[in-house]
Amino acid sequence: MNAGAITARMDETIHATGHENVTATHESTFELTSDEYLTPAGDCILAVEADRVPAEFDDGFVSACQSADATITATLDVGGNEATVTGRGHPDLTFENERSMVARTSEYVDDRTVMVDAEAAAADLDRGLIDALADGADLTLTLSVE
């Protein structure tokens, strides 16, 4: 077996809270932030008060995500209403941000990026899930890499 091969799925789980200003209308990204507030301009942000940030993720998880062949799946669970978004890894992913994480439909990478080529953005998510977040529901985000 290749020593660099990914042999098992690895997960990172983040808990966050919805906010009255969640609109989720952004067409190329979705984001979670550890900030306690959200302005109406934050149209990609799904939840605030994230209990973990990319800089805290396990080194093995980060390394696995830095493969262009990696498949990264984001599972968003809001009170049993679940959405799954699949994207991929990228060699330039750093997971160094200490405030927020962004999944992108493009290949743009910065220190907040946790996935590129995502199959969906905030605007594509189920409106029932978004309405619950706008009412302050809790969100569990599970990022998985294979």
pTM of the model: 0.93
In the prediction, which pLDDT does 96 show?
97
In the prediction, which pLDDT does 5 show?
52
Q: Is 37 helix (H, G, I), strand (E, B) or coil?
A: coil
* CA 49 – CA 61 distance, rounded (Å): 22
Q: Report the chain (146 residues): mean pLDDT per 10 consecutive residues.
A: 61 98 98 97 97 98 97 97 98 98 98 98 97 98 98
* CA 19 – CA 46 distance, rounded (Å): 8
In the prediction, which pLDDT does 1 show?
41
* CA 47 – CA 138 distance, rounded (Å): 8
Domains and CATH numbers, the chain: 11-145 (2.60.120.630)
